[in-house]
Amino acid sequence: MQIQVRQATSSDASAIAQFNINMAMETEGLQLEKKKIAAGVLGMIEHPERGFYLVVEAEKEIVASLMITMEWSDWRNAMFWWIQSVYVVPDWRRQGLYRQMYQEVKRLSENAGGVCGYRLYVEKENGAAQSTYASLGMHQTHYLMFEETTN
């Protein structure tokens, strides 16, 4: 079976938007507004200064994706790459697709230079994802996350 990890293009936006809708429902019981998320995904793809998506294509279908955004660290004088919106189609889970995407993230960051590390957040109850991240060398930090949303 042919599996390819690549950067997303605008033709992948619909699949990524649906993945985000699925993930929000699975993890938080949230119903995302399809029009808004579709515009948000396309907004990322059309503005690479905001970040980028990786997708996994298998059997001519998009079966997984993740988003990368960047955060400047003045402490390190370099960028952290934030891994966000990770989604793998249920039938494709536990088959190493995230591992392949993570390896591609690392390869791309090495080529880009100026990246000091990778960060992500994960649901407290998502033990399977936490195990995956730990198996790849990531560790839980001492930080808690706070937020206030305005819309």
Question: What's the confidence (pLDDT) of residue 104?
Answer: 98
Confidence band (pLDDT; 50, 70, 90) for 71? very high
Q: Is residue 113 in a domain?
A: yes
| Within-domain flag for 66 | yes
Q: Which residues constitute the domain of residue 110?
A: 3-135
pLDDT attached to residue 146: 92
Is residue 150 a part of any domain in this protein? no
| Predicted TM-score (pTM) of this structure | 0.92
Residue 123 lies in a domain: yes
Question: Per residue in 134-147, pLDDT tens?
Answer: 999 999 999 988 98
CATH number of the domain to which 69 belongs: 3.40.630.30
Within a domain: residue 111? yes
Q: How many helices (H) and strands (E) does the chain have?
A: 4, 5
- Number of domains composing the chain: 1
In a domain, 145, yes or no: no
Mean of the pLDDT values across residues 21-41? 94
Residue appearing with tokens 């059997």: 59
Give tens-digit pLDDT for 77-136. Answer: 999 999 999 999 999 999 999 999 999 999 999 999 999 999 999 988 888 889 999 999
The sheet that has 3-7: what strands, in order across it? 3-7, 52-58, 61-73, 78-88, 115-120
Domain assignment present for 54: yes
CA nearest neighbour of 118 among 103, 104, 99, 138: 138
Q: Is residue 147 part of a domain?
A: no
Is the model's pLDDT at 151 over the cut of 80?
no
In whole angstroms, what is the distance from residue 102 CA to residue 142 CA?
22
Q: Do residues 53 and 74 make contact, with C-beta atoms less than 8 angstroms apart?
A: no
